[in-house]
């Protein structure tokens, strides 16, 4: 199996929704990866579209650096609509 | 349980105060039910134990196809044959979800499969029993998949993210397996002739005890449970899960109109559980050691599948290369 490539599989469950990561498959090439992903992840109409991406092409943020990456956005409350107080007569905005 | 007697390599569970800062942070996350993901720091023993547990679980799914494969060409109707093939295909899928989860721990799939084939890795003891009559297909679905569900439902909350997510997918599909097995037995009991009914009882007689053994040794003989529970890669003890399985299965047995091969099986109103007879642990340990009725045959079949399939894997690579060259030209 090691001579085959590892691919990550993403499934769009319905039209209008994003593709979502579901797992991985091994395959000799992309055509085979799509077929294997179909057999493995959509046996019960779980999807309408598949993406496959070679696993080594994905760059991920390190989960241990979570604070450094994501904390800076935590103190920016002015980015949320609820930060702005408007009089009731303005109604829904 | 599909993973039995998974070694942790740990003699005693450490107290928080005896841990290194990293280890302590890890354990506190686990205690707070925060999932551990592949890139997070984890103790080496946790990683190794999980690789052993998840690979054992995956091997069980794959070897588990063999007792059922025995009946594909002999299914009594086309409908039953299609159902059986769909179930076997699911087992292959479950094995692959689990191998994928195992690979996120840095394990190599080929190496782990090789450990299975050389007898260094285990798989569930249940698949070393033969499937002798057609009713065994029903009994396997109902009892074996039923026992697996009891174990896997709790493993959906296991601490390792990829393992937990694989379990959630698997549990969604297992219920089909159990229901089709039970419906098959019910049909035989309600519409079958005497010989067919006897076949159902015979299947239950042979598979009842091995199904109870799937949960692994009694708690007193499970030296690894404490650490596995602390890491939350195991959520309930073997005896708890076994009792849960028995309690939910006995009423189903009565609806079938069959009996269990256990004279001591009876409701205990005081405990609120069924009492049951002594499990023959000598047999269990014998099967685990490789001396069950089908151990050798199962491993030989797996080894042949890999070696006979070598040319197919090579041809797939050659074909992929040829396509790539054509596209480049």
Q: What pLDDT, in 10s, does the model give residues B263-288?
A: 999 999 999 999 999 999 999 999 99
Q: How confident is the model at residue B3 (pLDDT cuts 50, 70, 90)?
A: confident
Structurally, how many domains does chain A consist of? 1
Chain A, nearest residue to B165 by Cα? A22
Q: How many residues does chain A have?
A: 93
Q: What pLDDT, in 10s, does the model give residues B156-215?
A: 999 999 999 999 999 989 989 999 999 999 999 999 999 999 999 999 999 999 999 999
Tally Cβ neighbours within 10 Å of residue B322.
Answer: 10
Q: Do B102 and B167 contact (CB within 8 A), yes or no?
A: no
Q: Do B160 and B233 contact (CB within 8 A), yes or no?
A: yes
Mean pLDDT of all residues in chain A? 90
Chain CA centroid to CA B325, Å? 43
| Chain A residues whose beta carbon lies within 8 Å of the beta carbon of residue B106 | none
Chain B, nearest residue to A42 by Cα? B93
Chain B, nearest residue to A29 by Cα? B320
Structure tokens belonging to residue B220:
């007193």
- The reply to whether A70 falls in a domain is no
Size of interface A-B (CB pairs under 8 A): 54
Q: Which of B1, B72, B17 is nearest to B219 (CA)?
A: B1
Q: Choose from B104, B173, B306, B316 for mutation: most chain A CBs within 10 A.
A: B316
Q: Could you tell me the CATH number of the domain that includes residue A34?
A: 3.10.20.520
Predicted pLDDT of residue B147? 96
Average pLDDT over residues B105-119: 94
Q: Do B48 and B5 contact (CB within 8 A), yes or no?
A: no
What residues in chain A have their Cβ under 8 A from chain B's Cβ atoms? 1-4, 6, 22-26, 28-29, 31-32, 39-40, 43-44, 60, 62-64
- The reply to whether A34 falls in a domain is yes
- The reply to whether A76 falls in a domain is no
Q: What pLDDT, in 10s, does the model give residues B227-264?
A: 999 999 988 999 999 999 999 999 999 999 999 999 99
The greatest distance separating any two alpha carbons of chain B, rounded to the nearest whole angstrom, comes to 79
Backbone angles phi and psi of B279, in degrees to 5: -80, 140
Q: Is the pLDDT of residue A42 over 60?
A: yes
Give the C-alpha separation, A4 to B32, whole Å.
39
Q: In what order do the strands lie in the sheet with A49-54?
A: A19-27, A5-12, A49-54
| Chain A residues whose beta carbon lies within 8 Å of the beta carbon of residue B313 | 1, 3-4, 28
pTM: 0.91
How many Å is the Cα radius of gyration of chain B? 21
Cβ–Cβ gap A28/B173 under 8 Å: no
- The reply to whether A4 falls in a domain is yes
Structure tokens belonging to residue B199:
């076949």
- The reply to whether A5 falls in a domain is yes
Backbone angles phi and psi of A53, in degrees to 5: -135, 130
**How far does B39 lie from chain A, in Å, by closest CA?**
6
Cβ–Cβ gap B319/A24 under 8 Å: no
- The reply to whether A77 falls in a domain is no
Strand partners, A49: A12
Average pLDDT over residues B296-309: 95
Chain A, nearest residue to B168 by Cα? A22
Cβ–Cβ gap A6/B317 under 8 Å: no
Strand partners, A12: A19, A49
Across the interface, which of B89, B100, B109 has its CB nearest the CB of A23?
Answer: B100
Determine contact: B89 vs chain A, CB below 8 A: yes
Predicted pLDDT of residue B220? 87
Burial of B115 (0-12, 13-18, 19+ CB in 10 A): middle
Average pLDDT over residues B138-143: 97
Helices (H), A1-93: 30-41, 66-70
- The reply to whether A91 falls in a domain is no
- The reply to whether A37 falls in a domain is yes
CA distances, B32 to each of B25, B155, B216, B227, B232 (Å): 11, 16, 28, 16, 11
Mean pLDDT of all residues in chain B? 94
**How far does B273 lie from chain A, in Å, by closest CA?**
37
Q: Could you list the residue range(s) of the whole structural domain that residue A5 is in? A: 1-57
| Chain B residues whose beta carbon lies within 8 Å of the beta carbon of residue A25 | 96, 100
Cβ–Cβ gap A1/B109 under 8 Å: yes
Measured at the CA of B252, the angle between CA B64 and CA B88, to 5 degrees, comes to: 20
Q: Is the pLDDT of residue A87 over 80?
A: yes
**How far does B226 lie from chain A, in Å, by closest CA?**
28
Is ipTM strictly over 0.85?
no
Q: How confident is the model at residue B118 (pLDDT cuts 50, 70, 90)?
A: very high
Cβ–Cβ gap B323/A31 under 8 Å: yes
**How far does A16 lie from chain B, in Å, by closest CA?**
23
């Amino acid at each position: 199996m090691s001579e085959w490539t590892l691919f990550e599989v993403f499934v769009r469950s319905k039209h209008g929704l994003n593709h979502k990561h579901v797992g991985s498959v091994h395959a000799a090439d992309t055509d085979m990866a799509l077929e294997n992903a179909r057999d493995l992840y959509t046996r019960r109409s779980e999807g309408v579209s598949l993406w496959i991406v070679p696993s080594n092409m994905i760059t991920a943020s390190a989960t241990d650096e979570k604070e450094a990456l994501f904390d800076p956005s935590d103190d920016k409350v002015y980015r949320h609509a609820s930060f702005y107080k408007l009089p009731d007569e303005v109604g829904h905005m | 349980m599909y993973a039995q007697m998974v070694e942790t390599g740990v003699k005693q569970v450490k107290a928080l105060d005896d841990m290194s800062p990293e280890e302590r942070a890890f354990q506190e996350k686990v205690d707070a039910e925060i999932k551990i993901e592949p890139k997070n720091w984890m103790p080496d023993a946790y990683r190794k134990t999980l690789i052993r547990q998840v690979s054992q679980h995956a091997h069980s799914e794959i070897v588990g196809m063999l007792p059922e494969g025995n009946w594909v060409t002999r299914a009594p109707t086309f409908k039953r044959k299609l159902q059986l093939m769909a179930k076997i295909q699911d087992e292959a899928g479950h094995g692959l979800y689990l191998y994928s989860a195992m690979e996120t721990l840095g394990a190599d799939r080929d190496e782990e499969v090789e450990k299975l084939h050389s007898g260094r890795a285990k798989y569930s003891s249940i698949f070393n029993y033969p499937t002798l009559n057609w009713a065994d297909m029903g009994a396997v679905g109902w009892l074996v998949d039923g026992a697996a569900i009891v174990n896997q439902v709790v493993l959906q909350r296991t601490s390792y993210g990829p393992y937990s997510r694989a379990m959630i997918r698997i549990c969604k599909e297992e219920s089909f397996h159990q229901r089709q097995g039970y419906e098959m037995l019910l049909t035989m009991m309600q519409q079958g002739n005497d010989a067919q009914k006897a076949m159902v009882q015979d299947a239950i007689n042979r598979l009842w005890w091995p199904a109870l053994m799937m949960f692994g040794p009694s708690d007193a003989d499970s030296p690894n449970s404490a650490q596995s529970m602390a890491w939350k890669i195991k959520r309930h003890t073997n005896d708890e899960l076994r009792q849960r399985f028995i309690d939910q299965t006995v009423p189903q047995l009565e609806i079938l109109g069959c009996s269990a091969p256990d004279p001591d099986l009876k409701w205990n109103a005081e405990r609120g559980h069924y009492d049951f007879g002594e499990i023959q642990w000598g047999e269990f340990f014998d099967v685990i050691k490789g001396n069950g009725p089908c151990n050798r045959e199962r491993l030989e079949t797996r080894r042949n599948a890999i070696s006979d399939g070598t040319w197919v894997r090579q041809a797939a690579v050659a074909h992929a290369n040829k396509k790539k060259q054509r596209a480049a030209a």
